[in-house]
Structure 1
Amino acid sequence: MKKIALFFLAACMLIPAVGMAAPEYTFVRIENLPEQEIGERLLKEVYKRAGIEIEVEAMSGVRALEAASSGEKDGEALRIWSVGEKYPSLVRVPTPLSALTTQAFVRKDSNIKLSSPDELKKFSIAITRGVAHTKDITAGLENVHEVPSEDLLMPFVQAGRAEVALTSLENGMVILKNAGITDVVPVEQPLKVHPLYHYVNEKNKNLVEKIDAVIKEMTASGELEKLQKQYAEDILNK
């Protein structure tokens, strides 16, 4: 009888608990960026509607690209268009999932005005290492400082070590709020607006058509935009 009980206990331990199934796919995103946090929430909703369980891990921009492009992870939550050109092993889902701005932030007393990316060459610039949209817009410029973490951008400009910090509008406003910095402000208009796309590693290219169909449906209904605004407000009001 004791042997039967032990056998039954061992068998039960091998049966997965209800609701405890492991995610089918694990994607990555850049850590400490509001637009990436928004993208993670949007992506989970998209996959939920496709009937697929996923997990999203946050890591540095450089590490995320390595993990996604090598196949260590299943893809990137969202990145700009150029990532798909530079990393052939990452397959772009055609319909944008979200969007971000490349926004300049300057000291309030600097009187710096920027209306186009071409004007950046006049100034010293701070960007975050591993963030593609700011890396692309400063390509070929000489006076560019790469900081290892987003939260160092605004203090870098505040201290006069660079004249302009580049990041997304949402991220910049969160950094300023969290750091209590009031003498660094965004310029009036963004330098560029980028659609953001979901990427899967080539081993998962079978996902593209199904996920694209869900994104298209949510875009057409206006639900994707509504959720993006809701998630952005949630982050700014933390």
Structure 2
Amino acid sequence: MEQQTPAPRPGALGRYILGTLLLFCVVTEAPAAAPLRFSAIENSAFTDFATEVLTEAYRRAGNSIEVQPLPAARALKASSSGLTDGELYRTQGLEKRFPSLIPVNIPIFLSHWQAYTKNTPLEIHGWDSLRGVKIGIRRGIATTDKGTEGMNTVSTNTNESLFQLLVADRVDVIVLSKINAQKEINKADYPEVTLQSPAVQIVPVYHYLHKKNAALIPPLEEALLAMTNDGELAQITDKHWPWLVQ
């Protein structure tokens, strides 16, 4: 019976080749996906709030985000063109003007749009109450653009300049969200500025994705609904605006 010759042991070169092949066969962890980047209205009191809400929502959905603050009109150009991944937040109905932007159908906030005057009472019964007066509004904001359509308006790029117009008697009334108005009032004392009630309009605020990211909507809606039901959304709201009564 013939005796089998044992296989030769690999030399140094063989061991090097074997080790190299084993190294390439090791399964490595895939690199993390790049954060999604969203346009946001610069100098808005909503931005920090919405960033915190959506950072948590995207974390639950397995993603991360970055925020790019821009002037309101430029922010919409960037998001609707796909230059950014969407709009951090905007009021309901934006998709009618910008079909490339799709709302995530769980509101993150209810925005109260208020009229402010300079020591002058004004009866508020919706937008039609403002006909016949000169109105200051923020440029590029869909809610006030639509609500004051056909009226006598003056547009500015910042909330601060809206208050300056009112105090200087260059407009009769300004309309902006209660959150942003309170931010300006906290920064500078405006004793002559009077909040008029009730709200001109109460509008749900939504997160919007560019259509290229439509596949992200179902898991994000699930995350936001869970945050609404487990109280996380209310806790973040109270953290940012403890004085606000929704």
TM-score (norm 2): 0.82
Alignment of 1:15-94 (within 5 A): 23-94=34-105
Does residue 103 (structure 1) correspond to residue 114 (structure 2)? The answer is: yes
Partner in structure 2 of residue 10 of structure 1:
none
Q: Secondary structure at the match of 1:182?
A: coil
Does residue 118 (structure 1) correspond to residue 128 (structure 2)? The answer is: yes
Alignment of 1:120-135 (within 5 A): 120-135=130-145
Q: Secondary structure at the match of 2:130?
A: helix
Mapped to 2, the partners of 1:195 and 1:23 lie a distance apart of: 29
Identity of aligned residues (%): 30
Deviation, 1:36, is 2.9
Partner in structure 2 of residue 17 of structure 1:
none
Mapped to 2, the partners of 1:66 and 1:182 lie a distance apart of: 37
Mapped to 1, the partners of 2:56 and 2:217 lie a distance apart of: 16
Q: Structure 1 runs of 4+ off > 3 angstroms?
A: 20-23
Q: Is the 8 A contact 1:23 1:55 kept in 2?
A: no
More helix, by proportion: 1
Partner in structure 2 of residue 203 of structure 1:
212
Mapped to 2, the partners of 1:93 and 1:174 lie a distance apart of: 27
Query: Aligned residue pairs: how many?
Result: 214
Mapped to 2, the partners of 1:229 and 1:115 lie a distance apart of: 29
Aligned residue type for 2:222: A
Among 140, 146, 157, the residue aligned to 1:136: 146
Relative to structure 1, the CA distance from residue 133 to residue 216 in structure 2 (aligned partners, 3 Å threshold; closer, same or farther) is same
Aligned residue type for 1:63: R
Q: Secondary structure at the match of 1:187?
A: strand
Deviation, 1:23, is 3.9
Q: Is the 8 A contact 1:34 1:232 kept in 2?
A: no
State the Cα deviation string for residues 150-187 of structure 1 (Å, max 9, x = none): 21011111111111101001111111221222111211
Q: Is the 8 A contact 1:101 1:190 kept in 2?
A: yes
Q: CA RMSD in A?
A: 1.9
Q: Is the 8 A contact 1:35 1:100 kept in 2?
A: no
Mapped to 2, the partners of 1:29 and 1:22 lie a distance apart of: 21
State the Cα deviation string for residues 64-101 of structure 1 (Å, max 9, x = none): 11110101100001111221111111111111122211
Mapped to 1, the partners of 2:241 and 2:189 lie a distance apart of: 19
Does residue 182 (structure 1) correspond to residue 202 (structure 2)? The answer is: no
Unaligned runs of 5+ in 2: 1-30
TM-score (norm 1): 0.84
